[in-house]
Amino acid sequence: MAVALLLGGCTSEPERKVEKFEGSASVNAAFRLGAKPGGVEIRVEQGFYPTGGYDVLARVEGSPSLSEGVTVVLEGVMEPLAPKGDKSPATALVYVPLGQSIEDVDWSLTFKVPNGDGDFRKDSYTVRHTAAGWRGSPRQGSFSRFDPQGSF
């Protein structure tokens, strides 16, 4: 009986299938920004998938700072373990600690997508948080766009 209990506790989570963006021209990401104490929250939404629960695989590259900027690498989309609901975008929520207030400071935000040949496509923005909300320039890059309406 003890062996059955031990074996039952050793189950692992099923592996989720990953669709890499590498070499893909089908990346169409929108991002929103949220001011947080000592940093910024970046919400990324990518495309539309058959059900809810898909996750964007995103990571912060290097050591982010207001003076050097922030680079987020979009690597792919992971399928859900348990699909739910109707068609919806895949999402990622990335918190970037910056160690200081971002109020009224222009800083660089770059998104990168692997091309598959060791190089990346890049979209770069200059963003600023003020009492009136977020400002971003430009509003749209080659594969991404800034959504100030959903930013806080």
DSSP assignment string, 12-72: -PPPPPEEE-TT-S---EEEEEEEETTEEEEEEEEEEESSB--EEEEEEEEEEETTTEEEE
pLDDT of residue 3: 44
Mean pLDDT lowest among 2-6, 29-33, 36-40, 96-100: 2-6
82-141, pLDDT tens digit by residue?
888 888 899 999 999 999 999 999 999 999 999 888 899 999 999 999 999 999 999 899
In the chain, domain spans: 15-143
Which amino acid belongs to residue 77? V
Write down the pTM of the prediction: 0.86
Q: Which tokens in the block code for residue 61?
A: 């590259």
Pairing mode of beta strands 120-130, 107-114: antiparallel
**Residue 76: left if φ>0, alpha if ψ -120 to 50, beta else—which one?**
left
